Each structure stands twice: as structure tokens, then as C-alpha cells.
Amino acid sequence: MGRERLFNLAVILALLAVPLLALALDEPFVITLATKVAILALAGVGLNIALGLGGLVSLGHAAFFGIGGYAMGILAAHAQNYEPLFSWPFLFEGSNQMPLIWLVAVLASAAAALVIGALSLRTSGVYFIMITLAFGQMLYYFAISWSAYGGEDGLSIWVRNEMPGLNTLIPIQFFGVCFALLCGALLFSARLAGSGFGLALSAARQTEERVETVGLQPFKLRLVAFVISGAITGLAGALFADLNRFVSPTMLSWHTSGEIMIFVILGGVGRLYGPVVGAAVYILLEHLLGGISEYWQIFLGLLLLGMVLFARGGLIGALLGREVAHD
């Protein structure tokens, strides 16, 4: 246990140190990269609650990522164009304040997760994978044809949204915001895993009938986990959209779902810091391999394949060995 804690500490410190170093060396783009890692890791932390803790193989988490992104895009677009979003029951002109945008992103993606989860969790196994995939695609096609908000073109926001007391246009400050949220989510995720809910959820993944015989509802446990998971991924979506100052249906596509899942698995399913390691390694690979060959995705594919076949437990698993029972 000590080893993994130490490792986790090192990972999070490294994620903090790299942009600070980049700041000193005047390399703003490295800060942007680190911000991307923090945001994608946050999305992965969200998925990991469903996937790692709850054993729910959702191939539709892009839906929540995208809803978070669109929450930001829609609110900010209205604010920037001074077009009221609605005028009843009160006049609301959208917003460019991050805290409000985050709240809307979290609520909207949680609501979507509640509906999608309530339908999908009636099934399990492969059905669940395919149904979450299909719901994701449904939203994807909807977003493409939703011309009011740019359809396939997406929505561009000219200026990054504001955070009280900070200037988010300065890369390192925006990184700080994302990093703080990631730390918050990691903390939350750790507490959740150790809580009564986490214990029951984890048990439901291992042995559903046991959970039922002690008088707990696996369906309810999973639904709550799915909603929490979707909400965190949605928050990450809002940040990702703000990082790019842009949101488009691509955020909803099933490749995005696959990528978020890759972050989690690359790092190690169910490992608290798995998504952080996974996202960091993925972004590094993308930039290193992408520079070497147009066909870099072949190598990414081979690497993933090797990972699944020979290094189960992800990178952390390969480095630290089997997970020890929680104490």
C-alpha cells in the first residue's frame, strides 16, 4: 500500500512540476499539454468510478463528456452574443463564469446519466456495452444535426470563460484551475472507494447475488455510481471545451468514449491514479509518435494490444504489481 501511495504522490507532483518547469523555461505549450492531461485524467477519474469500482463497461461516456462541453458552449455562446437563453421564468443571458458553467455541466450530464443509466442498467455484460455505445451515438447524431448550436461545425468561443479572481487566459492559471479540480476529484474518488457506498458497489461488481442477499440493491448502487461517474466526466467535458475554446460533436463520438476508456485501462483499471498515468502516457505517445509517422495510430494500436495481452493491470499494475486489498 505504501508503495502505491508514494507512486501516486510522485505522479501528481510530476503533473504539477512539468508546467511549472515549462513556465520557467517559457514554454507555454507544454502547459497547455499538461492542462490537457489534467482534464482528460479528470474524465478518466469519472469513468473509473463506473468502470473500476462498479465494473460497468460504458462505451458511451463521450455522451457526458460532450454534454459538459455543450453546456459550456451554449452558455458561453449566449453570453458572448448577448442573446438570452430563455426569458421565462427569469431572464437568463447565458454565462461566461466558470463556476456556473461547471454547475450546469455537472447537473446536465448527471441528468443524462440518470436517464441513460436507468435504461442501460436493466441489462448487463455485452448488452450494456452496446447500449451505452448506441446512446452515445444517438446524442452524436443529434448534435450533428442540431443546427441552432452549430451542428457538425460546433461552437467557437472567442475568449476563454472567466473564473473569479483569476485570469484564465494565462495558461498556468487555467492549468491551476484544472489541476485543482482533478485533485478534488481524486480525493472524492478515494473517499468514495473507501465509503460504505464504495464497498457495496465494489462488492456488486464481484458478486451481485451476495449484495442482494445482504439486502442491498445492485441496480440502485450502479445507477448512483453511473450518475456520479457521468457528472465528473461532464465536468471534464466543460473544461476540455474551455481549453479549446471550442465544442463540437467530435466530443460525443464513440472514438472519444474509446479514448477515455483507454486512459483508464492504460493506467490500470480501478487504480485511483490510473487515469492520470493513462492520460499522461497517451498524450505523450500522441505527440511523440505523431511526430514520427503519419500512421502513428498503428503503433498506438499495437501498443494497446500488447498492453491488453501481456500487461494486464495497466502501467501501474506492471510497475507495482497486484493491487493489495483495501484496508
Partner 1 sequence: MTDTSLSPPMQPVLRVEHLSKSFGALKASNDVSLDLYPGEIHALIGPNGAGKSTLIKQISGGLQPDMGRIELLGHDVTALDTVARARMGLGRTFQISSLAMEFSVLQNAVLGALGACGKSLGFFRNVMKDKALLEVAEEALSRVGLLQAAQQRTADLSHGQRRQLEVAVALTLKPRLFLMDEPMAGLGASGSKELTGFLDQLRYEAPILLVEHDMDAVFALADRISVLVYGAVIATGTADEIRNHPEVRRAYLGEEDET
Partner 2 sequence: MSLILILEQILNGLQFGVMLFLMAAGLTLVFGVMGLINLAHGALYMVGAFAAAAVAGLTGSFVLALIASLAAAAAAGALVEVTVIRRLYDRDHLDQVLATFALILIFSEGTRWIFGSFPLFLDVPDYLSGPVTLPGGIKYPLYRLAIIVIGLVVGAGLFWLIARTRIGIQIRAGEADREMIAALGVDISKLYTLVFALGAALAGLAGALVGAIQSVQVGMGEPVLILAFVVIVIGGIGSIKGALVGALLVGLTDTLGGIFLPRLFTLMMEPAQAASLGASLASMLIYILMAAVLLVRPSGLFGGSA
Partner 3 sequence: MKMLKSFAMMTAVATAVSTLALAAQAETKIGMITTLSGGGAGLGVDVRDGFMLAIEAAGRDDIEVVIEDDQRKPESAVQIADRMIQSEKVDIMTGIIWSNLAMAVVPAATAQDVFYLSPNAGPSVLAGKRCHKNYFNVAWQNDNLHEAAGAYANDAGLKNSFILAPNYPAGKDALTGYKRMYGGELAGEIYTKLGQTDYAAEIAQIRASGADSVYFFLPGGMGISFLKQYADSGVDLPIVGPAFSFDQGILQAVGAAALGIKNTSQWNKDLDNAANIAFVADFQAKYGRLPSLYASQGFDTANLILSALDKTDVSDQDAFRSALEAADFDSVRGDFKFGPNHHPVQNIYVREVIQEGDVFTNKIIATGLTNHADAYAPECKM
The least distance separating partner 1 from the CB of residue 210, rounded to whole angstroms, comes to 5
Residue 302 partner contact from partner 3, partner 1, partner 2, none using kind-dependent CB cut-offs of 5 to 8 Å = partner 2
Residues 32-71: x where in contact with partner 3 by CB under 8 A, - otherwise, as a string: xx--x-----------------------------------
Give the one entry of partner 2, partner 1, partner 3, none that residue 265 binds, where binding means its C-beta sits below a cut-off of 5 to 8 angstroms depending on kind. Answer: partner 2
Q: Which does 207 bind (CB under 5 to 8 A by kind): partner 1, partner 3, partner 2, none?
A: partner 1
Residue type, 127: Y
| Distance (Å, whole) CA 262 – CA 252 | 16
Tell me how far apart the 2 most distant CA atoms of the chain are, in Å: 60
Where do contacts with partner 1 occur on this chain (CB under 8 A)?
Answer: 191-192, 194-200, 202-203, 206-207, 209-217, 323-327
11 binds partner 3 (CB under 8 A): yes
CB of 94 to partner 1, least distance (A): 32
Question: In whole angstroms, what is the distance from residue 126 CA to residue 138 CA?
Answer: 18
Q: Give the range of 153-161, 217-225, 226-234, 264-272 binding partner 3 by CB under 8 A.
A: 153-161
The CA-atom distances, in angstroms, between 248 and each of 72, 112, 134, 154, 193 are 11, 18, 19, 4, 33
3-state secondary structure of 247: strand
Do residues 41 and 280 touch, judged by C-beta distance below 8 A? yes
Closest approach of partner 1 to the CB of residue 125, in Å: 17
Contact between residue 44 and residue 264 where contact means Cβ atoms under 8 Å apart:
yes
Residue 87 binds which entry of partner 2, partner 1, partner 3, none, CB below 5-8 Å type-dependent = none
Pick the binder of partner 3 from 29, 86, 127, 142 (CB under 8 A).
29
Q: Which three cell numbers stand for residue 196?
A: 460504505
Contacts 24+ apart (CB under 8 A), 90-96: 95/161, 96/159, 96/161, 96/162
Judged by CB under 8 A, the number of residues near partner 3 is: 50
158 makes contact with partner 3 (CB under 8 A): yes
